[in-house]
Amino acid sequence: EARDALQTLCGVGAKVADCVCLFSLDKTGAIPVDTHVWQISVRDLDGSLAEAKSLTPAVYRRVGRLWHERYGAYAGWAHTILFAADLARFRDRRAEALGPASPPGPARKTKPKP
């Protein structure tokens, strides 16, 4: 409903309307889709999306559905985190934040050396 109302404004398309819904109207399921999000979706959700030649309204809707299927009611926030993590300037921080591939085991108690 909010998205449709926003799109009646001059110059507001689906992506901008979804951005406003997600970031300003607490619509946590809104998925703003651009070519970057489309590429993330191809890589992480459904490789067959790569067959589309451009980001048509049908592809936009399909990408949104895939995010909702995977991440549920908070798909919009999952989108935001994955989008930001994919930016070049955050890649090092992402690896740092994720830490080692497996969590460390319990700390060992060692005897003090004489």
| Residue of 15, 27, 111, 113 marked active site | 15
Q: What is the CA angle 30-18-65, rounded to 5?
A: 45
Annotated catalytic, 53?
no
Compute the distance between CA of residue 112 and CA of residue 109 in angstroms, rounded to an integer.
9
Residue with tokens 């926003």: 6
The set of catalytic residues is: 15
